[in-house]
Amino acid sequence: MSTLEIKGLHVSVITEEGAKEILRGVDLTINSGETHAIMGPNGSGKSTLAYSIAGHPKYTITSGSVTLDGVDVLEMTVDERAKAGLFLAMQYPVEVPGVSVSNFLRTAVTAIRGEAPKVRTWVGEVKEAMTALSMDPAFSERNVNEGFSGGEKKRHEILQMELLKPKIAILDETDSGLDVDALRIVSEGVNRVKENQDLGIMLITHYTRILRYIKPDFVHVFAGGRIVEEGGPELATKLEENGYAEYATA
């Protein structure tokens, strides 16, 4: 059982006009096995929340705390956060030319587990995870995210999540750019990892579409850099009907 606890989080970015506050006091607690949907209009700060937790250097934490099982996450380097059990599935996964998927996965898993996986079991483990995500084995010889379609990038993110076995995963707009079939495959992957590994999930999305496949336990409406309304799955239904208009001035 793990708990990610975010308290009073304020985050700024440096712009040409100076520091600009994006997150204005976020409070959120995610436990193992729970799925929290973070829904909100574009520009509300959802992705900033994701990247701040992962430790992207662009964002400055001005106040508040983030802890994983009581340990201060904000003091950790980016790789330490991953080793502690956090995972960010990115909306725009980055291309790394010349680095093969297989080399990348092996290097990452070795870093997270603290030892290189045994060759014999590792090959099978990767193959099984790829098959479950309907990925061609030849995929592992390609360079990381280079020339990947939108669907391939997202599958590759979920593949990493499956192999790295995080405690808490943040899925940032994982549904964007996916057609119906890809959305189903990716969602099934997320559900499988959640089931097998008792994963806690922060599911960031603009649309309710993905919630048909990944059932949230809690829905948080995000606007103006903080959570403005919370509820159960029924809140998503309301958002689907009414949109975010009523939060625009929040």
Which residue from 14, 63, 65, 79 is in contact with other proteins, where contact means CB under 8 A? 79
Cα dihedral: 77, 81, 83, 86 (round 10): -160
Looking from the CA of 167 toward its CB, the CA atoms found within 13 Å total 17
Which residue from 88, 202, 204, 239 is in contact with other proteins, where contact means CB under 8 A? 88
Which residue from 24, 27, 104, 176 is in contact with other proteins, where contact means CB under 8 A? 104
- Strand-strand pairing, 86-89 and 96-100: unpaired
**213's tokens:** 């496949």
- Residues 151-190, mask of contacts with other proteins (x by CB under 8 A): ---------x---x--------------------------
Neighbours of 1 (CB within 10 A): 9
* Cβ closest to other proteins, residue 69 vs residue 217: 69
Which residue from 61, 74, 96, 132 is in contact with other proteins, where contact means CB under 8 A? 96
**221's tokens:** 């409406």
Q: Does 49 bind other proteins (CB under 8 A)?
A: no
* Cβ closest to other proteins, residue 74 vs residue 96: 96
DSSP E strands in 111-248: the ranges are 143-144, 168-172, 200-205, 218-223, 226-231
Q: Does 9 bind other proteins (CB under 8 A)?
A: no
User: Which residue ranges make up the site for other proteins (CB under 8 A)?
Assistant: 54-57, 77-79, 81-83, 87-88, 90, 93-99, 103-104, 107-108, 111-112, 143, 160, 164
